[in-house]
């Protein structure tokens, strides 16, 4: 999330009641989770296992639960509860409505048709000649391009599936990002595309999604991808251009798939993949898989 205007380190520290390490005028541009951080961002970390990753990331302000040596050119916000304070910062700069108020700050392009049963949140932009079918739900801050088709019962901009366990219960990391649907995208029935935690979940231009597809927070789908029914993509994945994902493919969080790849039905992806065709529980190269199957069948 990028703030509407840059903030000072002391301003953020005062907001959450934390100690800070660094100049009180150190510039803060926004917040992001660890997979998405850029210079000027705040990233939070609340476990020693991930200290080094956060401290050495692109983020220049680290919201941390212990005072440690601060890397040169960076700043620290020392907090007893980085997770909770990250939520506090995000919701201070981005108001969460969750359809409880109808402000209808919506821009709709010429030639767009929206069924009367569709539900649209606040600060939504929809381009030209787009079709929104019955019972579609479009969450706050969603951006939809031109010539897009969104079929019935699809939900754009639901909350990210991102929790910690606190006192025996699950505590949500509040999502203040959005969903961006680029031009000429088609989305089938019953799909769910979660908004980013602090950034954008993106469906690239010309991509086509079948029915009943789940796409997690902050995932970026490239241009002209073809995604079949019941595919599940976790958060913070990067799917290249012209990738084909066949039915019931599952992709674990934070993985990248190279341009032009084909992932065959029911394949599980738990690592980054170079360009190729893959199959199987652990995304095995398809030709290698076939050779192995021939050898196994020829065993006597």
Indicate whether 294 pLDDT > 90.
no
Task: Report d(CA 45, CA 50) in Å as an integer.
Answer: 7
Q: What is the pLDDT of residue 117?
A: 97
Q: Report the 3 state secondary structure along 142-165.
A: CEECCCCEECCCCEEEECCCCEEE
Q: What is the pLDDT of residue 138?
A: 97
pTM greater than 0.75: yes
Indicate whether 146 pLDDT > 90.
yes
37-87 per-position pLDDT tens digit: 999 999 999 999 999 999 999 999 999 999 999 999 999 999 999 999 999
Q: Of residues 92, 104, 115, 217, which has the active-site annotation?
A: 217
Indicate whether 247 pLDDT > 70.
yes
Task: Report d(CA 265, CA 278) in Å as an integer.
Answer: 9
Contact call for residues 237 and 231 (beta carbons, < 8 A): no
Alpha carbon 48 to chain centroid distance?
Answer: 25
Contact call for residues 86 and 64 (beta carbons, < 8 A): no
Q: What is the pLDDT of residue 286?
A: 93
Domains and CATH numbers, the chain: 2-93 (3.40.1390.10), 106-278 (2.160.10.10)
**Rounded to 5 degrees, what are φ and ψ at 58?**
-70, -20
Beta bridge partners of 192: 155, 214
Residue 104 annotated among the catalytic residues of the structure = no
76-119 per-position pLDDT tens digit: 999 999 999 999 999 999 989 888 887 778 999 999 999 999 99
């Amino acid at each position: 999330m990028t703030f509407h205007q840059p903030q000072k380190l002391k301003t953020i520290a005062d907001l959450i009641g934390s100690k800070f390490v660094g100049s009180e005028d150190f510039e803060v541009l926004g917040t992001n989770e660890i997979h998405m951080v850029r210079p000027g961002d705040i990233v939070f970390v609340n476990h020693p296992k991930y200290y080094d990753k956060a401290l050495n990331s692109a983020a220049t302000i680290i919201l941390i639960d212990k005072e440690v040596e601060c890397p040169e050119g960076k700043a620290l916000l020392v907090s007893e509860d980085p997770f909770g304070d990250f939520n506090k910062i995000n919701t201070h700069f981005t108001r969460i409505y969750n359809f409880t108020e109808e402000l209808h700050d919506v821009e709709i392009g010429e030639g767009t048709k929206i069924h009367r049963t569709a539900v649209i949140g606040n600060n939504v932009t929809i381009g030209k000649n787009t079709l929104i079918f019955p019972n579609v739900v479009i969450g706050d801050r969603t951006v939809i391009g031109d010539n897009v088709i969104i079929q019935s019962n699809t939900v754009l901009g639901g909350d990210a599936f991102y929790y910690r366990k606190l006192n025996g219960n699950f505590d949500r990391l509040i999502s203040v990002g959005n969903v961006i649907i680029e031009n000429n995208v088609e989305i089938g029935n019953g799909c769910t595309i979660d908004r980013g935690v602090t950034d954008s979940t993106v469906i690239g231009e010309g991509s086509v999604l079948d029915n009943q597809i789940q796409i997690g927070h902050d995932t970026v789908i490239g241009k002209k991808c073809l995604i079949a029914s019941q595919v599940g993509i976790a958060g913070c994945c990067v799917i290249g251009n012209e990738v084909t994902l066949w039915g019931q493919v599952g992709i674990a969080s934070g993985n990248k798939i190279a341009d032009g790849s084909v992932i065959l039905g029911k394949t599980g992806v738990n690592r980054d993949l170079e360009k190729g065709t893959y199959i199987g529980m652990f995304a095995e190269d398809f030709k290698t898989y076939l050779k192995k199957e021939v050898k196994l069948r020829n065993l006597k």
